[in-house]
Amino acid sequence: MGRFKYIICIMLLGLFSCSSQKKLQTEIPFELGNASCQVYSGGLESSGSGIAVKIPVTMDNASDVVMKEIFFRGKQAQVTMEQVDGANYAMAKIPNSKGGSAETTALELGATDAVLSYIENGKLKYTKITGIKEKQPLLYKGKPKN
C-alpha cells in the first residue's frame, strides 16, 4: 500500500511540473523586425555596463498586448516600449551585475536567441526570437582628468 501511494505521488508530481514550463507561441498578434543587441559600458564605475536589446515591433491590431520581459543570454530584464523616428521598439537593458535566474537557465537558447514574454487578453505568453544581430560595443568615455 505504501509503495502504491509513492508511485501515485511521483506520477502527480510529473504531471503538474509539465504545466509550469513556458509554451512558446508560434502565431503572435504583432510583427517583430530584425532584433539587435549592443554591449554598453559607462565611463564611470557607477554608470555600469551590460547589454541593450532592441526589437522593432509592429502592433497594428494588438492594442491589448503588453510586453513584459526578455530572457537573453542567461539573464532576464523588463521590456519597455519606446518610439524612435516613428517606429515602435521593445527595448531592454540587461545590466552585467544582475545574475541569471532559474527561469532563464532552464531555457535552452543560443547566443543569438531570446524569449520575449507578453500579456495578451490577461494571459502570459512567450515567443522566441532568433537571429539577434550584435552591434559594435558602445563605450562611453569617463570624466576627463585635469
Range of weakest confidence among 2-6, 63-67, 77-81 = 2-6
What would the grid cell of residue 119 be?
A: 500579456
CATH number of the CATH domain containing 63: 2.60.40
Report field, pTM of the whole predicted structure over 0.85: no
Q: Quick check: is 55 in a domain?
A: yes
Q: Quick check: is 8 in a domain?
A: no
What residue has cell string 532584433?
A: 35
The more confidently predicted of residues 44 and 105 is 44
What would the grid cell of residue 61 be?
A: 491590431
Q: Quick check: is 26 in a domain?
A: yes
> What's the whole-number mean pLDDT along residues 107-119?
91
Q: Is the pLDDT of residue 33 over 90?
A: yes
The reported pLDDT for the residue numbered 72 is 93
Determine which helix (DSSP H) or strand (DSSP E) holds 12, and give its type and residue range: helix 2-18
Q: Quick check: is 74 in a domain?
A: yes
> What's the whole-number mean pLDDT along residues 71-78?
92
Q: Quick check: is 15 in a domain?
A: no
The reported pLDDT for the residue numbered 142 is 65
Q: Quick check: is 16 in a domain?
A: no
Q: Which of 3-7, 45-49, 80-84, 103-107 has the highest mean pLDDT?
A: 80-84
The tally of domains found in the chain comes to 1
CB 126 within 8 A of CB 22: yes
Q: Quick check: is 118 in a domain?
A: yes
The reported pLDDT for the residue numbered 23 is 85
Q: Is the pLDDT of residue 133 over 90?
A: yes
CB 41 within 8 A of CB 49: yes
Domain that holds residue 132: 22-139
Q: Is the pLDDT of residue 18 over 50?
A: no
Q: Is the pLDDT of residue 111 over 80?
A: yes
